Structures are given as C-alpha cells and as structure tokens.
Structure 1
Amino acid sequence: MEPREEGRGPQFDFLLQEPLSRERAGDSLQKQLLHRLRAAVLDGRLPAGSRLPGSRALAESLGVSRNTVTLVYEVLSTEGYIEPSRQGTRVAALARPEPAGHPRPAPAGLARRAGRIRRSGPGGEAAPAFAPGVPALAQFPLAAWRRSLDRVLRHGGTELLSYGPPRGELALRTAVLHHLALARGMRCTPEQIVITEGAQEALALCVRLVTDPGDTAWVEDPGYRGAQTALTCGDLTVVPVPVDDEGLRTTASDWADRPPRLVCTSPAHQYPTGAVLTASRRLDLIEKCLLHGAWIVEDDYDGEFQHSGEPLACMQGLTPGAPVFYVGTFSKTMFPSLRLGFLVLPEPLAGPAAPVADELLRGGHRHEQLALAHFMESGQYSRHLARMRRLYRRRRDALRPALAEHFDVPHTVTGGDSGMHLTVRLPPTAPDQPLARAARRHGMAPRPLSQHSLLPDAGHNGLVLGYGNTPESAFAPKLRQLAKLVRELS
C-alpha cells in the first residue's frame, strides 16, 4: 500500500491548472507530464525535499493511466531530479543557478588563443566571381569521378563503413607517393605520408607534432590566413616575416633575435603575392633551420599549376635530410568539398610521429580515399591537371589585358606565373576591406590584401582576384563594376 500523500497541497496546483491534452501533436501525455514536473523542480516550485503524490493518486487527479505516471517518475529518478524511497518519492536537492538579476560572475568566454583568431569574412556559399582558391568546378570530370566511386562501392564491402587507418588508406598514400615523385621531385616513402582532412588539418598536425605553447613560429606577411590560425591555436608566438619579389625575406637579426621553431612558407607560389622563393633563399632557409633546430612547413597549395615550364621541384626533395613538412591539398586540384589533403613527414620524424598521429587522427572518408587512389592510378588525375593548367593559363592571359582595359583606376598587378589568382594592389585612397564588402553585394568575392597581413602599417592594400572558377566572359563586366566601386569609395 502506498504511503499517505503529502502532495495534495497548493504546490501541486500547477499540475491541474492546465489539463494534459491528448490532442497536442508530437507531445504524448507522458512527455507533457515529464516536462511539467522537470520544469517545476528546476524553477523551485517543487523545492528539495518535497514529497510527490503517489503514482495512483496523481494518475487519478490528472485523468491518465498509472503507468504513464510511473514511467515519468522512473525517468526523473534516472535523471536525478527525484529520489524514491520506502517513505515516498521526494524532490532531490539540486544546485540551481541564481535567479535572474542576482549578481553573479560571468562565465568564462573564449580562450585567449581563440580570441586572437581573425575572422576572414563570410564563406561556405557558392563561390561568386573572383573568389580565390576555388578551381573550375564546372570543368571537373564528374563522370570519371563517379566511375571511381562506383567501383569502390561495388567492390568495397561493408568493412569500408568502419574506421580506416588513422594515417589514411595505403592505396591513396601510395598513389600520392607516385604522383609526388614524378611531378614534384619528392623523395619519400608511404610511411611518411599522412592523409588529412584538407590542408588545415595537416598544418594543425605539424604544430602539434613539433611545437610547444610559447614557441616562436614565422609566417609570411602578407600570408595565408589558415597558417596564421593553425599557429595561433597552438599557442605559439607568431612572428610575421616580410615577403618581397623573391619570397620570404629573412635577415641575420631575425635568426639572432627571434629564432623560430617552425617556419611556414609557400615557396612555389606565395599566397597571396604570387612570389616564388628563389633557390638561394630556399637553400639558405634549409641550412639555417638545420643550424637552429627548426622545422619548415612547405605549403604547396597550388604548385601543380605552373603556367610556364614544368612545376617547380619542392623544398622537401631539394637536399637530403631537409627538415621539411610538405603539405598538399586536393581542394585546388579536385574540388573543395572533397576535404582531403596530405602531409609528408620529414624522414627522421616518420617513425616517432606515427603513433602520435594514430592517436590524434581518425580514419575516415574511406570510399573517397580509395576512389581518389583509383582516379590517380588510372591516369585521370594527371589528365585533369593538364586540362586545368591549360584552362588557368588561358584565364590568366585573358584577365591581365582585361584589367588593363576595364579596371580603369590606379593599380599594379603581381603574381600570375602559376596558380589561380592575381593580386591587384591599390592606393590607400581605396581601402580594400570596404571595397571587398561592397563587391560581395555585386556577386564578387575578391579577398582584401590587408587581411593577410599581421604587420602594422605594412601598406598592403589591394584585392586578391581568383580566376579559377570565373569564366573569361565575366571579366569585363565584373571589372567595370569593381572599378566603379573603387571610385565611389575613394
């Protein structure tokens, strides 16, 4: 026999003020009662120690089955809101927030390193005209890619639905190895290659593997925002190093006053200036890093698209034992949503880094990885790259005269020997960030050059114009509109 209820007093009137309704779509009687009792405990209408009505009595009062009440009590007991005992069911003692308006300390906000990350602007939508870093998506061979995917789906079996090797499928690592040896002069083994979720994860992995919070890292200035973010999230001291026409420009005082643990550079095609790091500077950087115990992150984000001659050899294969992490991505050569990149570990770190990477990474995208391996080994990848080199060279050659003819405001153009963008430098009378925001309202998404700089008063003002996904027919009208916006803002 149930204990005598103490739960018929006024503190339970809220249960009867509004009847439980069988007509409420999506809310069963059980769910309605559960929400009502839980809210009453949380807001203090049922204080700690209050004895609840017995399940039979409450069911009769509400006009529901006893089983409904019993199930609700069981859920509340499991969640810790009530405590059943031989003497009846009582409300548990809970730590409640102070009522609104009561003075209390504010909760901690973002971490300091998160607060130092600079927002680059909107993204993630369909790429408007002149968006940097977006390849010619309409030219991608979808039919060939679908055949590679279908092949994996037909023969892969259910085991591919499970986690894969943390450092990536061996078939893809081997395919990447073959491609890098032929196209980039790479010297490595499959054990040195790690498949990542894009270049950003590869950059973050480099930071985790060889730096500690407080270490110094150098970045190109102006430079790639993703590298700046990866270093900031590693709690590193980020030092901007200027870039000139020959790439990253270091001095003896840089090495003496603020020697780095990590140096991030894009030597084949500096982003965003388009400069190429000269051979003498490459060799000097490798020598200095060996001397100071530093590591180099070579970001080869679009080094495949050399517009004159063959693609440049990478720093990683320039000298034996080079302390270089090589980062590549398929976002530029295939399509961004594939979210696959790769990291080539320096040979001395391949063994020690393997178990660490296995703990930090989780194998995924198995079907896409194996499809990409087939796409590469079948020759489709190299053929696609050849077509895109011709297309981007043609678009580069069309954009330069279009700028001269239709962008009739003071400017200078840099870059263009490779890749998918040109950088247009503007006088300070045309501030690039308001200009970029205005351009977006007209279907364009150039990046403001100043956003890529960490140096105060560096004078970097201009627009990074991507032409990879912008057809030649759009150049003239878009550039005329852009010139009009410059005049309006100047």
Structure 2
Amino acid sequence: MTDSPDLATATLLEAALVKDRDAGSMQRQLHDRLKRAILDGSLAPGSRLPGSRALAEALSISRNTVTATYEHLAAEGYVQPDRQGTRVTELSSPALLAPTALTALSTRSARAGKPATATPPTALRLARIQSSAPRAEMDAALRPGMPSLSHFPAAAWRRALDRAIRNASPATLGYGDPLGELPLRAAIARHLAIARGVRCEPHQVVIAEGAQEAISLCVRLLSNPGDTGWVEDPGYRGAKAAMHAGDLRIVPLRVDAEGLCVSEHDWHKHPPRLIYTTPSHQYPAGSVLSIARRLALIAQARHHGAWIIEDDYDSEFRHNGEPIGAMQGLVAQSPVLYVGTFSKTMFPSLRLGFVVLPEQLMAAVRVPLEEMLRGGHRHEQLAMADFIESGQFSRHLGRMRRLYRDRQQALRLALGKHLKVPHEIDGGHCGLHLTVRLPQRFDDRRIAAEALRHRIAPSALSGFAMQPTASDNGLVLGYGNTPAELFEPLVKRLSQLARAAERA
C-alpha cells in the first residue's frame, strides 16, 4: 500500500480535461480517467487519491465535481473512503484483461499444447449450427421467402394500428397475456378453421415472434437433450437450428414427390421425439405430403409417443385449385403442433407467428408457458386482430394470390426460354419460390455466390441438405418480391453464371 498521492496525481494529470460536448461532462471525463487507471493498474490497489481540493485546483475544475466523482467511484466499489482520504480498493481479480494479457494467455496455451482460441468458449451446441449460405440484402432479386413488400396495403395497416392505439387503454402499455392478446388468438382460430381446416379454440393458440420462435418453443416444450428429432432433407435450416439449440440428435429423412419418406425401419432404428415437416408445400422442393403418408405419420407418432411440428409457412398462396388442408385437422386429438406465420402473408419485420398446441397438451404446458414468456407487441397484435376481422387480411391474400400466380408463371416461362443449361423445375403451384434442379457438374454454391455480386440472391439447393445427394444440386428462386418484368434478364444472367460454374 502506498500513502503518497504523487503518482496518482501524475497519472490524473497526463492530459487536461476538455470543455467539449462530445467529450462529455467534466465529471464523466474524470470518472472515466480514474476508472481506466484503476483497471489497468496505473493506480495500484491501496494507493491514496489526491484530496478533492488539491485535485480540483490541479485540473482547474470545481471541487464539487471531484467530490461527486469520488462518491460515484465509491458507490461502484472502485475506491473506499477512510479517515486518511480515498484509497483504491483491493480488487480480488482484474476487472479487465488487457489485449497483451490475452496474447500472453494464448501463447502460454500453445506452449502447453492446448488449442489457442481467439474467441471465448460458448455452448458446445452452437458448433453444430453452421451457416450454409452467404447473407443477401433484403431487396436482392430472386431472394426466397420474401413477399412483395411494395404491394402491401400500408395505409390500411396504418389505420388498423391507429385504431389499436386509440382504442386501447393505458394498461396495454404494460405486459400482456404471455400467450398473446386474446382478440388475435380468437381471430387466428376462426381464420384457420375456415382457410386451413385447423381444429382449435383460441386458448390453444400461442403467439410467437415468427415461425422460428414458434418452432423453438415446440422444441423447448416437448424435448429433452439427447432426444431424436426428424427433419426433411433437404429442408428448412431454421428447424435444424432450433433442434440443435435444444441438444437434439437430428436424423435427416429424404423427401420425394409425395413429401417426407418414412419407413418402418426408421421408426425402429431411431424413434423420434419430434418430427418437423412442411406437408402442404415442402420447403424447398415443393412437394405435397400425400394423404396416405399424412395418416400413417399421425398413427405412428401416436404409437411411438412422438409429436409432429407442422410448419404451414406459405400454403395460403396456392395457385392451382383449392388450398391443401392442414394435417392438424385430419383427425381429432392429433399429435400435431401447427405453426404459422404472418411473415409471408403480411411482411417479415412484423415478427408475428403462432403455434396451435394440441388440446391434450394445454394442461401440462400452461403454467410453464406463463413463466417462460412475456406478453408484448400488444398494439401490433390488436391491430393484426382488427386487420383479420375487418376483412382486410382476406382481401390482401386474394390480391397476393393473383400476383404470385402471375409471377410464378412468368418465371417458369423465363426459365424455359433463357436458362440454357439442362434443368428441371420443382416447386409445385404454391408459395413464393421455385426450385431449379441442375446436373451436378454445375456448382450450385458457386453460382449462388457469384449471383450475389450482381444483387441476385438465389439459394443453393445443396445448402438445405444435411446429407446432400447428386439430386440436391440446383437453385431456389424466390419470385415474391421481384417484378415479373425483371425475370428474363435475371434468368439470362443466371444462365451465364451457371455455364461459368460448370465443373470440368
């Protein structure tokens, strides 16, 4: 311990405090300077700080400023006042580790034969969540999963928001029902019964921040670390990320023209706890899970005590014939958790999705859900309920179905006319994307990466597969947010990139 404040004074006087709004108040500058000196060791533990009067005179600042700074540091625990003055607290361990110390630690680890890490350790499960595609700008052409933002009725939505705020009481500024606003849950239940054939009551609907959070919620509610989850292969990457985050053992199952392929051998070899599927419009291949496979999957799930997560992400946009009904409504008390989202039918930044839980689950999960969740986005939820009940939602869906049907047809024509490499088109007549399968000699990841340089954002089909096969090579093309008049030049560019990416 040192009683001399000379060194401390010298440290504090290295540079004058400045009267500059950007530099902060005198008190803030002095506080930051003292804190840094304590943390980097310039002011040793036990050293005595200058008296408030002396320091104020030396720095040409108010004594009250010094006194207030010392009191603030004492409240934070950096210094401790006593009868002799103010001393630097004896810290049990360094508050910060300087970069030089980190470098030394890395060097010592290398000498000891241990791997040197440039990043701090994280949960082991995060290593299993890998990015399989470069990030594209939101407005890039042919990006999958994006609805037409320019055709959204923003004025009608603004009026719904205004009504929600105007008619709501001040209480809506507080936390709401953890499961979501009841008017929205009731509106969703009524809409799903008519449009999707879903069997549910409002109390079974849980509002989430998009389909991704809804899937993650299903994983948290119904699985334990080490359980097995089945996913479609190729399939939605977000479902795999949710299962990895839940420490599940993921088993990829192939899809064909009738959707998810499940054999009796699969049930016996690796029986699942959760099964993720997109039965009405498989993502990204576009097939529809046949009624025979749907009923067999439900029956086997019941027999084995498994739960099915049905992701009905874009089936509102069926372009040929009547919509394919939801699997959830096929039989009463089915072991199906129905997941939906407004990201495709409204706009992605709304961040509103939902999950319909089976009635037989509600008694077991109600209390945990109330503890796990916090009600929020209340005005947006009330506005969404108004948007549905007023008929605006149905009218918007009708307009978008016609727009997306025309855009899909235009994209098919452009592909047939201008894609000058062998290809097959998948994707059915639904949703917001088409999948173009290419011979394996055309490197789909290279094509997608090169396309990004031209602000074109197709996804490589192989990036959706955990166990890629020769058929998992191609491009997933989104047409929702790209005007039809751009398809021909865009496809011409993709054709050039495909030929350039052909393997020798």
Contact 1:432-1:448 within 8 A present in 2 as well: yes
Q: Which residue of 2 aligns with 1:432?
A: 444
Q: Give CA deviations for 1:189-221 in whole Å, capped at 9, x if unaligned.
A: 111101111000100010011100000000000
SS at match of 1:147: helix
Residue 102 of structure 1, CA deviation: 3.4
Amino acid at match of 1:427: P
Which of 319, 343, 367 is the equivalent residue of 2:379? 367
Distance 1:23 1:361 in 2: 45
Q: Which residue of 1 aligns with 2:339?
A: 327
Distance 2:482 2:49 in 1: 68
Which of 374, 386, 406 is the equivalent residue of 2:398? 386
Contact 2:136-2:452 within 8 A present in 1 as well: no
Superposition pairs of residues 391-470 of structure 1, within 5 angstroms: 391-457=403-469, 459-470=471-482
Which of 174, 188, 201 is the equivalent residue of 1:189? 201
Which of 11, 27, 30 is the equivalent residue of 1:14? 11
| Residues 225 and 7 (structure 1), Cα distance of their counterparts in 2 relative to 1, 3 Å cut | same
Which of 63, 66, 72 is the equivalent residue of 2:63? 66
Tell me whether 1:314 sits opposite 2:326 in the alignment: yes
Q: Which residue of 1 aligns with 2:175?
A: 163
Tell me whether 1:115 sits opposite 2:127 in the alignment: yes
Which of 19, 29, 32 is the equivalent residue of 2:26? 29
Q: Which residue of 1 aligns with 2:112?
A: none
Distance 2:73 2:184 in 1: 51
Superposition pairs of residues 185-224 of structure 1, within 5 angstroms: 185-224=197-236
SS at match of 1:463: strand
Tell me whether 1:78 sits opposite 2:79 in the alignment: no
Distance 1:151 1:62 in 2: 57
| Residues 143 and 124 (structure 1), Cα distance of their counterparts in 2 relative to 1, 3 Å cut | farther
SS at match of 2:329: coil
SS at match of 2:239: helix
| Residues 260 and 25 (structure 1), Cα distance of their counterparts in 2 relative to 1, 3 Å cut | closer
Distance 1:242 1:409 in 2: 26
Figure out how many residues of one structure are paired with residues of the other and give that number: 486
Q: Give CA deviations for 1:258-300 in whole Å, capped at 9, x if unaligned.
A: 0000000000000000010000000000010001000000000
Unaligned runs of 5+ in 1: none
| Residues 23 and 383 (structure 1), Cα distance of their counterparts in 2 relative to 1, 3 Å cut | closer
Residue 11 of structure 1, CA deviation: 4.7
Tell me whether 1:292 sits opposite 2:304 in the alignment: yes
Distance 1:485 1:177 in 2: 46
Which of 102, 106, 113 is the equivalent residue of 2:104? 102
Residue 121 of structure 1, CA deviation: 3.6
Residue 19 of structure 1, CA deviation: 2.7
Report which stretch shifted further, 95-104 or 54-63.
95-104
Distance 1:364 1:470 in 2: 33
Distance 2:31 2:277 in 1: 58
Distance 2:450 2:291 in 1: 40
Contact 2:462-2:468 within 8 A present in 1 as well: no
Amino acid at match of 1:325: L
Which of 55, 74, 90 is the equivalent residue of 2:87? 90
Distance 1:61 1:190 in 2: 70
Which of 226, 249, 257 is the equivalent residue of 2:269? 257
Q: Give CA deviations for 1:8-36 in whole Å, capped at 9, x if unaligned.
A: 43453222342333357433222222222
SS at match of 1:316: helix
Q: Give CA deviations for 1:436-487 in whole Å, capped at 9, x if unaligned.
A: 1111111211111011000154541100011111121011100001000111
| Residues 222 and 456 (structure 1), Cα distance of their counterparts in 2 relative to 1, 3 Å cut | closer
Distance 2:295 2:339 in 1: 19
Contact 2:133-2:460 within 8 A present in 1 as well: no
Report which stretch shifted further, 444-453 or 412-421.
412-421
Which of 34, 54, 58 is the equivalent residue of 1:57? 54
Q: Which residue of 1 aligns with 2:42?
A: 45
Q: Which residue of 2 aligns with 1:179?
A: 191
Q: Give CA deviations for 1:10-64 in whole Å, capped at 9, x if unaligned.
A: 4532223423333574332222222222122112121111122222222233332
Contact 2:5-2:48 within 8 A present in 1 as well: no
TM-score for the superposition, normalised by structure 2 = 0.93
Q: Which residue of 2 aligns with 1:144?
A: 156
Report which stretch shifted further, 77-86 or 294-303.
77-86
Distance 2:302 2:278 in 1: 19
Distance 1:307 1:480 in 2: 25
Report which stretch shifted further, 242-251 or 87-96.
87-96
Amino acid at match of 1:41: I
Which of 271, 278, 282 is the equivalent residue of 2:294? 282
Contact 1:130-1:446 within 8 A present in 2 as well: yes
Report which stretch shifted further, 365-374 or 208-217.
365-374
Contact 1:198-1:341 within 8 A present in 2 as well: yes
Distance 1:213 1:41 in 2: 44
Distance 1:67 1:332 in 2: 59
TM-score for the superposition, normalised by structure 1 = 0.95
Q: Which residue of 1 aligns with 2:245?
A: 233
Amino acid at match of 1:21: V
Unaligned runs of 5+ in 2: 110-116
Q: Give CA deviations for 1:378-420 in whole Å, capped at 9, x if unaligned.
A: 1111111112112211112222121110111111111232111
Contact 2:146-2:480 within 8 A present in 1 as well: yes
Superposition pairs of residues 128-139 of structure 1, within 5 angstroms: 128-139=140-151
Report which stretch shifted further, 377-386 or 154-163.
154-163
Contact 1:396-1:416 within 8 A present in 2 as well: no
Distance 1:244 1:363 in 2: 40
Distance 2:183 2:135 in 1: 33
Tell me whether 1:471 sits opposite 2:483 in the alignment: yes
